[in-house]
Amino acid sequence: MIACPECGEDGDLRRDKADIVCDGCGHRWSSASGVCASCGGTDLVKRPRPLTQFSRGTQLSIVGWVDVDCCVVCDADALDRAVAAGGPLPAGYIPAAREPRPSGAASSDQ
């Protein structure tokens, strides 16, 4: 569980753009701080993820790549599948390291 570095609050937190805000004390910090947003762990790895867009009607094309931080614990299933396939994360996959998930919630490919 992630907690506010100022007051220790762990339940009254919200995401505001690229920051996390503690509604308890008002402290704001960057969610790109190398800490998993779901479990608070610091063991993150970067994996490529394709950026896609519909270029012609329903034809989906890869238009670029972005490296995303993934938690080795919370995103383990997606990381294992990507490594086993020898490829990137699925397009549209949102890592648990960046978008908090409730404890016990399984990650899903989007």
Q: Per residue of the chain (110 residues), what is the pLDDT tens digit?
A: 567 777 877 777 777 666 778 888 888 776 656 778 788 788 888 899 988 888 888 888 888 888 888 999 999 999 999 989 988 998 888 898 877 776 555 544 44
- Helix (H), strand (E) counts: the chain: 1, 5
Q: Give the pLDDT score at 80.
A: 93
Please tell me whether residues 49 and 81 are part of one structural domain: yes
The 3-state DSSP class for residue 53 equals strand
- Angle at 75 (CA atoms; ends 86, 70), nearest 5 degrees: 80
Residue 22 domain boundaries = 1-33
CB atoms within 10 A of CB 87: 12
| Residue 70 domain flag | yes
- Residue 48 lies inside a defined structural domain of this protein: yes
Co-location of 49 and 24 in the same domain:
no
The predicted pLDDT at position 107 comes to 47
**Pair 13, 21: CB distance under 8 Å:** yes
pLDDT of residue 1: 55
Strands (E) in 1-110, as ranges, are 13-16, 19-22, 28-30, 44-56, 59-71
- Is residue 55 included in any domain, yes or no? yes
- Do 2 and 29 lie in one domain? The reply is yes
Task: Give the total number of structural domains in the chain.
Answer: 2
Q: Residue 46, SS3?
A: strand
